[in-house]
Amino acid sequence: MKLRRASAVLAVIAILATAALVLLTGSMDKGIGITGFAVKGGDANTFSPQDRIAESQISADEEEVVVKIANATIGRIEGTNSMVAVLGKSSNAIMVRPQNADEIKEGDIIAYQSGEAAGLVVHRTVEIGNDEQGWFAITKGDNSRNNDPEKVRFGQVRYIVVGIVY
């Protein structure tokens, strides 16, 4: 993963399908609700990431989408296919550094330094726990059958993914 520092205010042309719908159908001020649907055969054990960006941090008009995130970093994802269909080759992840382990919840996508792989691994947390060594997360690629082989300690965690731009 190659990382570039981003300014405190990120101007993003197309950030999420939600933003695209806002541009096509009106503004968030009009109270537009967006709903999803279940996909047959989906993994019911996949947790959703914690909602970290308030609606008040997002603005959109006909020219741009602006998402205000302090101390954010942009990371370009290398294509290993472990997080398909959420993250693919050349996806851009908007990430922030966690200040403490309590910020990381089950379902969050984290970037961490693995003892098993070179570079940063970007996978979803599927379990949070404590043992004799302290806090740990169990992670798994969404496209992987098994959990990752190691317990991830807070000292290994570099970032939490707070947004994805395709």
Read off φ and ψ for residue 42, nearest 5 degrees.
-65, 160
The CATH number given to whatever domain includes residue 113 is: 2.10.109.10
| CA dist list (Å): 56 to 59, 87, 100, 111, 142 | 7, 25, 24, 26, 30
Give the span between the Cα atoms of 20 and 11, in whole angstroms: 14
> pLDDT tens digits, residue range 103-130?
999 999 999 999 877 889 999 999 999 9
Residue that has been written with the tokens 């691994």 in this structure: 121
Q: Which amino acid is at 136?
A: F
Domain of residue 106 covers 2-165
Averages of pLDDT over each 10 residues, the chain, 166 residues: 37 38 43 48 66 94 95 86 82 94 96 87 95 97 92 97 92
Structural domains in the chain (count): 1
Q: What is the pLDDT of residue 44?
A: 52
Read off φ and ψ for residue 155, nearest 5 degrees.
-65, -20
